[in-house]
Structure 1
Amino acid sequence: MSKKRVNKKSKAYKRRRRRRIIFGIELVALLVLGTALFGFAYVNSKLDKVENDDLDYSKIGVNQSVIKATEENTRTGTELVALVGLDSRDNSLASGIQSDTMIVACVDHDSKSIRLVSLYRDTWLNVFTKDGQNRYTKCNAAYNIGGPEHMLTMMNKNLDLNITEYAAVNFKALTEVINKLDGLDIDLTREELIHLNNYNKETSKIAGVEYEEIEVPDKSELDGAQTMTFHLNGSQSVSYTRIRATAGNDFRRAARQRLVIGKIMEKAKSADLPTLNKIMDTVFPMIKTSLSKQEILKMGMNLLSYNMGEQTGFPFDHLEGANVTKAMDGNDCVIPVTLETNVVKLHNFLFPAETDYQPSAEVMEYSNHIIEESGYGEDSIPSSSETGEIPQ
């Protein structure tokens, strides 16, 4: 891969940096409201608590045709930020950890909305080696291999995107935010509730909070696909986002994560000043982001008028299960069928105003390799893939 990934002198790059929107699982709305309500000087001191990550942009890979489109300023109405949830048992935000939650947040300035796309962690993609050679495996390995730059490269190269900013959090940070917001109301099935209690034993320990079990209603009261609304505390909400042992497995889990993000954002918008102050003091030290204080303070106000838009998961069309595991030498993974057609659908979702998108030569290369390696091509595309979407 070429070392030159982003032309920092181009007008498009400078404009993109000026218009950067703050967005992250905990950064969403909290920094925005803090900026609006507390004033520049006060919030500026609070932002010193956030761990800023000065990325080496020369290490972030972007496909050549995407760089050209960026320089030609064809996407001024949207911004992309990667939201990362790290599978850290010691609450570390360092490299060498699997990124089990990866979400592309598309901030649409024209419609004043935010669209979310979960990248399923077991998706078989080209994650590359440290020296830039091809390596195909589960996409959640990228952060482990080379940190945020490597993860962003994996996203950009496989999906024909140009993401240069990210925000990362861990279990404890998310738990603290939700607790400070006095919990979330979420509809659960009986099966989800049982799994939530089991996951919460570990989540509570990691987050350093007391484990609270939720009483499971009798089957006569809650059974099958029926749901009941429960008020969840922080560790319980995080445990809900970790559930994958139900119908829809990881696809449903990703949808749960997006649901919780939306609920946090909406609740934070109506939080009072003392609550926001406590969140900033407690949670900011647990956030790691490449966004600078200046970018956050300058552009954060925009989110006050932005709404959560459509949500989905990638890949749209996929295969998984015993037959795939056998074909992939025992790797329990998700095969995009095909990567090429899925990336086209992704661009239609992220950039609906564009009608002339064609996958890059790099995406075509990776797609053909995955077809050859797995044995699954366009003829294998299922009539309906499991999306795991949760009724709102």
Structure 2
Amino acid sequence: MVQSLGESKKKRKRVRVRWGRVFGALLLLCIFIIGVYSVYQYIQGTVEANNKSFKNDKGNYSFQGKNDEIGAVNVLLLGSDSRGEKQARTDTIMVAHYDQRTHTVKLISFMRDMYTSIPGHGKGKLNAAYAYGGPELLRETITENFNLDINYYAIVDFKGFEEAVDILVPDGIQVDVPHVMSSGIGMELEKGKQILHGKELLGYVRFRQDRLSDFGRVQRQQEVVSKIMEESISIDNVAKLPKLLGILNSYVNTNMDTSTLFTIGKDIVTKKSGDLETLRIPEDGTFQNKRYEDNGEVLEVDFQQNKEALKEFLVGE
């Protein structure tokens, strides 16, 4: 009887070991399949993007942002409408703030007409810094005027915005268009609530021929980014991330590595990052409209108040 019990225990032990091996093999197989699928999706996205007529300026920029450590990462986001110029203008200037510990994402929009000190170029509008010296001079200008360190840059061609929206939210985004929009956007958007897709959403966020001018445009940009984040939350979109990165590879010029982009993107589409908080610089009541002969209409800013607003927004101090 004793021998029989001992043999029974040995059999059970052997069974457990075998099941452990099976589980380990299945786990490795799943990891392998996910890896192969991710590579396939990335390649597919790259091929699809390269088949488009658009070719992004992938020139290498010198960028001296500090290497990120475990903590906060600030990414300079620039919207570019490249039409073959040596140095395209940027009419969208944002900084995305990502906290690697809490996984929170915050978005700061900088008005392009702010009258700033541009290192080596005297005074001028904020977006002139990009025209003079690309993302690095713009980084230096933002740091000098607002005490904000920036780690990375990402220049996104507007065509890439269309592609990304249609991948993440194929059913579109509902917005309430306040009035007919047509001037300067290559289309006509009717007044009222409606579902817009990538191309139409781009027109919606770029329109500025109304009484709010750039202020309305920045407000719509933040609205659309928030809604895209809200609507794109799903496990399905995690699977789409490799393809999305593959497509954006042809539309985005950035010094961020793919693994960092994937990590931040995963946190966003799985809701790990929480709701998006937004801020516009300058804040209401901290600027005046002025006109200078060499620069035209500008925003003359109270920099001290806006530095404090930035600090409170980012770190709560």
TM-score, normalization: structure 2? Answer: 0.72
**Aligned 8 A contact 1:258 1:311 in 2:** yes
Matched, 1:290 2:255: yes
> Separation in 1 of the partners of 2:295 and 2:309?
29
Q: What is aligned with 2:141?
A: 154
CA contact (8 A) 1:44 1:293 kept: no
Mapped pair 1:114 → 2:105: yes
User: Residues 88 and 271 (structure 1 numbering): CA distance in 2 closer, same or farther, change over 3 Å?
Assistant: farther
Q: In the alignment, which of 77, 82, 87 is matched to residue 81 of structure 2?
A: 87
Provide the C-alpha distance between the structure 2 equivalents of 1:333 and 1:79, rounded to a whole number of angstroms.
Answer: 30
**Alignment root-mean-square deviation, CA:** 3.3
Structure 2 residue aligned with 1:231? 195
2:185 alignment partner in structure 1 = 200
Query: Partner letter of residue 200 of structure 1?
Result: I
Alignment coverage as a number of residue pairs = 269
1:266 to 226, 230, 252: 230
Distance in 1, matches of 2:150 and 2:210, equals: 32
Task: Trace 1:1-392 onto structure 2 (pairs within 5 A).
Answer: 39-43=34-38, 46=42, 49=46, 55-58=61-64, 77-90=71-84, 96-128=87-119, 133-180=120-167, 181-182=169-170, 183-189=172-178, 191=179, 194-195=180-181, 197-201=182-186, 213-216=188-191, 228-270=192-234, 272=236, 279-297=244-262, 301-303=266-268, 304=270, 305-316=272-283, 317-320=286-289, 324-325=290-291, 331-336=296-301, 338-352=302-316, 354=317
TM-score, scaled to structure 1: 0.60
Aligned letter for 2:183?
N
Q: Which has the larger radius of gyration?
A: 2
How far off is 1:257 after superposition? 0.8
Single out whichever of 47-56 and 267-276 deviates more from structure 2: 47-56
CA contact (8 A) 1:79 1:106 kept: yes
Q: CA 1:56–1:276 in structure 2 vs 1: closer, same or farther (change >3 Å)?
A: closer
The residue type paired with residue 140 of structure 2 is T
1:298 Cα deviation after fit = 5.8
What do the CA deviations read for 1:65-89 (whole angstroms, capped 9, x no partner)?
Answer: xx9xx9xx9xx54221111101323
Alignment-mate amino acid for residue 308 of structure 1? D
Q: Give the Cα–Cα distance (whole angstroms) in 1 for the partners of residues 125 and 89 of structure 2.
A: 10
In 1, distance between residues paired with 2:92 and 2:140?
Answer: 16
More strand by share: 2
Is this contact kept in 2: 1:53–1:289, CA < 8 A? no
Give unmatched runs, 5+ long, in structure 2.
Answer: 1-30, 50-55
Segments of structure 1 that go 5 or more residues without pairing to the other structure are 1-35, 202-210, 217-227, 355-392
